[in-house]
Structure 1
Amino acid sequence: MLSVVNNDGTTTNGSSLIGETVREGARRMLAAALEAEVNAYIAELTNQRDGTGRRLVVRNGYHQPRKVTTAAGAVEVKAPRVNDKRVDEATGERKRFSSAILPPWCRKSPKISEVLPLLYVHGMSSGDFVPALEQFLGSAAGLSPAAVTRLTQQWQADHTAFMDRDLAEVDYVYVWADGIHLNVRLEEAKACVLVLIGVRADGSKELVALKDGYRESAESWADLMRDCARRGMRAPVLDVGDGALGFWKALAEVFPETREQRCRVHETANVLDSLPKSAQPGAKKAIRDIYNAEDRDHAGAAIKTFAKLYGAKFPKAVKKITEGQEQLLAFFDFPAEHWIHLRTTHPIESTFATVRLRTRVTRGAGSRTAALAMVFKLVESTQQRWRAVNATHLVALVRAGARFERGLPAERPKATAA
């Protein structure tokens, strides 16, 4: 048995000492990854400040130490803490930083299936995976560069099969659409990832499609939606997206019967861009009154109030609200329990936030298909934690064509006696 003589003359089991060294390496690697993750998050939001010019997102010490189980054993880590004072426009609640590397509920090291895509998106080559994982997970047995390459090839095949699957048996009642710019290995500098997330008739959320496109052009979106229609996808009842004209043009071409709902977060930002900073706080409250109105009638009254207050000085800002009024208020014609989901593209934004804030431009030659496969695997792993929409039983009624007034099912008129 291997033994090590200490300075005080005592001996220590050599295997135990090696184990401690490996665990210490895993702890340092995990701590460094958490620090880098938080620094990237704060750097991305450094320009967001309050009315006094103070930053809304800052460091705030560390959480209490906790033990995380790795392949090398349990290691104790102190996760950095972030003070995020921003407010979520969709829910009105404070935003919170959530680590993708070590979520609050996590007590074990991340799965290989989640770590490898994250490393690749960061720009690490397959040859660098083994030493990185050996420190991060405590062991890299069976993870040679060739094995990692085979894994990425399998994930590419999984993504290809996903994009070729039959959609005739699936009914997506609501769909969110957005173009995500991740600055990963997509070869073209202006390429982005086009994402569709849908709500099935049972109320569960599911990734519909994920494909790269040039910017968010109408042709790129139309090509994706034509492919979905070719594979049997029914026209959604409502599609939620931002103000990208390319998407709406493609939607009108492929699914003309689908109604449009503009994301309130993006629309609010577009309107505020047309106003001087001094007028933005008041205008933001006025716009919030529109979306948080009791029903469509009250929302229409709030739009008239907004036009009256800002129309004389800022007609361009008012025009953005009044011209797209139907698309801004479409969600009022659906169940009130679904309004919080339909006013914004938050399901996509929240899914990709942890990916977007932790990616950088990779200048080396990278595979476009491999990058898309990695992003697909990251989304696939988070999809397991998506929660269903509120009042799931009402989703089937929406597909059946039920009418809703003030967010409630409209009563059918009673038949008159002959």
Structure 2
Amino acid sequence: MARRKRKPMSEGKKNIIGMLLEEYDIKSAKDIEDALKDLLGGTIQEMLESEMDDHLGYQEYERSDNPNSRNGKKTKKIRGNFGETEIEVPQDRDGSFEPKVVKKRQKDISGIEQKIIALYAKGMTTRQISETIEDIYGFEVSDGMVSDITDRLLPQIEDWQKRPLDEVYPIVFIDAVHFSVRDNGQIRKLAAYVILAVSITGHKEVLSIHIGENESAKYWLGVLNELKNRGVKDILVICADGLTGMKEAVSAAFPQTELQRCIVHQVRNTLKYVGEKNKKEFSNDLKTIYHAPSEDAALEALDRVTEKWEDDYPNAMKNWDVISPIFKFSSDVRKVIYNTNAIESLNSGYRRLNKQRSVFPSDKALLTALYLATHEIAKKWTMPLRNWGKVLGELEIMYPDRLS
């Protein structure tokens, strides 16, 4: 590829650079940064003075009938991409001056809050964020400041958790990821329950995230009733692991909904009992069960797999007799229900949070990190699921009048 020619520098730019070299005695890249930092402060200062002139309607030292006038200056430190800069903000006598270039109470001009939030979304601790900001921008950001910035997201998270939902969702997954959280000096393991739905258009959407300790029918009924209060009237299939009380809660909240044992969890729970050298072969054998064309064929495959492996792994094949609802669907619908992509894309993002920080300072901090990570992951969910038209057509026949 031909190399792109750089545009010739204008005479004006050459003159500016020449004056910079002479004025600041520039000898290194660091000298350039220092010069630009100084120029930034000076430029902002001049813009503030111009704004004050415009606000009062006359320039400094001019005579005017305006009863309002300049009333000194107030020193202010601002943070930018080149570190901290000190400016003097002009004041007026009646206090009506509202600067635009650097607003009142604004101390950062580099969009640092968004950068802090982005780092938090990647699972970095407040201490790691503070150190990173100091390394990059040359000024200190306290742990408290990072916490204050992320805490401002809490009303936004609350609004997100309360937002209206669709009336009908064909498929909903309920998944749990475990995190360590500090509480009154003690570290506890908490489960983050993520409710992931597939909409009528075939798009994935996280409906809510709940931080919980004790599973029970009462707990899950509260979670499902919250979905109802946000507008959900029907769910065709809920896929979940063997969560305590889930069956009773689904029967009470959505009596027409089918509860399907999540194949993703079933495979994962089975393989944790299997030695590394046999996992690939064992996985292929498991597929003969949930890929079977009918429930009878699946039960035959279950007997074969159990007989083959029960001597080596006696605990592996528990609960494979409770996956029956899936066998009434075609392979296209089954793939949506047991395909790991939707859940695993979320879990991989959440696992990165666990790698970055072994313990979260509070359940509030955990919820904030999960919320931000979820939104980062969901940015990639722009297309409907593969073959969704065929899947939807089958579901409409299987569940007449419930998807309209």
Q: TM-score range by the shorter chain?
A: 0.5 to 0.7
Which letter maps to 1:162? W
Partner of 1:34: none
Matched with 2:335 is 340
Structure that is richer in helix per residue = 2
Corresponding position of 1:400: 396
CA 1:111–1:396 in 2, change beyond 3 Å: closer, same or farther?
farther
**Which whole-Å CA distance do the structure 2 matches of 1:308 and 1:373 have between them?**
47
Q: Is the 8 A contact 2:121 2:372 kept in 1?
A: no
Q: 1:124 aligns with which of 123, 126, 135?
A: 126
User: Any conservation in 2 of the 1:156–1:370 contact (CA below 8 Å)?
Assistant: no
Query: Superposition RMSD on alpha carbons, in Å?
Result: 4.0
Counterpart check, 1:16 vs 2:60 = no
Q: Distance in 1 between matches of 2:315 and 2:228?
A: 37
* Superposed counterparts of 1:15-54, under 5 Å: 15-16=31-32
Matches for 1:16-415 after TM superposition, within 5 Å: 16=32, 112=115, 115-118=118-121, 121-124=123-126, 129=129, 131-136=131-136, 138=137, 148=146, 151-167=149-165, 169-184=166-181, 189-272=188-271, 283-294=282-293, 296=295, 298-309=297-308, 317-318=316-317, 320-321=319-320, 323-327=321-325, 330=326, 332-344=327-339, 346-357=341-352, 358-362=355-359, 366-386=361-381, 387-397=383-393, 400-402=396-398
Q: How many angstroms does 1:171 deviate by?
A: 2.5
**Ranges in structure 1 where 5+ consecutive residues have no aligned partner:** 5-10, 21-70, 73-109, 405-418
| Paired residue type of 1:132 | T
In the alignment, the residues of structure 2 paired with residue 209 and residue 13 of structure 1 have an alpha-carbon distance, to the nearest angstrom, of 49
SS in 1 for 2:219: helix
Partners of 1:145 and 1:270 in 2: CA distance: 39
Residue type of the alignment partner of 1:289 = T
Q: Contact (CA 8 Å) 1:184, 1:362: kept in 2 or not? A: yes
Distance 1:278 1:132, change over 3 A: closer
CA contact (8 A) 1:221 1:246 kept: yes
Q: Distance in 2 between matches of 1:19 and 1:351?
A: 45
CA pair 215-275 structure 1, distance change in 2 beyond 3 A: same
What is the number of residues matched between the two proteins? 300
- CA deviation map 1:140-165 (0-9, x unaligned): 89x88787556424311111112222
Q: Identity, % of aligned pairs?
A: 21
Asked if structure 2 preserves the Cα contact closer than 8 Å seen for 1:176 and 1:347, the reply is no
Do the aligned partners of 1:242 and 1:345 also contact (CA within 8 Å) in 2?
no
**For residues 236 and 140 of structure 1, what CA distance do their matches in structure 2 show?**
51
Quote the Cα distance in structure 2 between the aligned partners of 1:369 and 1:207: 18
> Which residue type is aligned with residue 349 of structure 2?
T
1:63 maps to which residue? none
Cα distance in 2, alignment partners of residues 123 and 184 from structure 1: 13
- C-alpha displacement of 1:192: 1.6
Per the TM alignment, residue 295 of structure 1 is displaced from its structure 2 partner at its CA by: 5.4
For structure 2, the 5+ residue unaligned runs are 1-22, 37-80, 83-112
Deviates more, 1:297-306 or 1:208-217: 297-306
Q: What CA distance in whole angstroms lies between the structure 1 residues aligned with 2:244 and 2:208?
A: 20
In 2, Cα distance between equivalents of 1:301 and 1:361: 44
TM-score (norm: length of structure 1) = 0.59
Amino acid at match of 1:381: E
Letter in 2 for 1:159: I
Q: SS where residue 188 of structure 2 aligns? A: coil
8 A Cα contact 1:186 1:371, kept in partner: no
Show CA shifts across 1:301-360 (max 9, x none): 422433454578977655532x31415xx1x43353343331155423321323323243
CA drift of 1:195 comes to 0.7
Deviations 1:112-160 (A, max 9, x none): 37524236x44315xx745522535x5889x887875564243111111
Query: Does 1 or 2 have the higher relative contact order (CA < 8 Å, sep 6+)?
Result: 1
CA contact under 8 A between 1:185 and 1:362: conserved in structure 2?
A: yes
Secondary structure of 2:207's partner?
A: strand
Which secondary structure does the structure 2 equivalent of 1:260 belong to? strand
